[in-house]
Amino acid sequence: MQIKTLLLSSVFSLNSFSSIAQAQTDLNIQPQIADTVCAQLFMDINYGGDSLIAWGKDTSNQWIGRYFNDETSSVLVSPGCSITLYQDWNFGGKSLTLYGNTSWIGSEFNDETSSYKCSCN
């Protein structure tokens, strides 16, 4: 229970990609946590490059981490889910809400995301 709480609250607060990868590995042995993918953020257009998964039906990340900061260019959004991307950490600055898969988030928001909120029906 302690591990589940820790993963849910901190997996996207981790600063390095290696830490994120480790957390995702840990999630693989907790299938009840990994059941819902709210969205998947990609560094490149057309869902290319390294990606970051937003696990859970209602999740937020006030700091996307140094590795992913100002990198997001495309996003897969699970059916029934939506994600709001924020330009600054702690949900600050401009925002952009996506309601479905978005192969290119547009020049205005490209490489700008520093935090996000994601939820599913």
Where along the sequence are the contacts to Ca ion (CB under 5 A)?
A: 43, 71, 73, 111
Q: Which is nearer to Ca ion, 12 or 109 (CB)?
A: 109
Q: How far is the CB of 73 from Ca ion (least distance, A)?
A: 4
Residue closest to Ca ion, measured at CB: 73
Whats the size of the chain, residue-wise?
Answer: 121
Which CB, 49 or 92, lies closer to Ca ion?
Answer: 49
Name 119's Cβ contacts closer than 8 Å, sequence gap at least 6: 38, 57, 58, 59, 81, 82
Q: Which residues contact 45 (CB under 8 A, 6 or more apart)?
A: 73, 74, 103, 104
Q: Is 40 helix (H, G, I), strand (E, B) or coil?
A: strand
Residue 7 vs 102, nearer CB to Ca ion: 102
Cβ at position 74, least distance to Ca ion in Å = 8
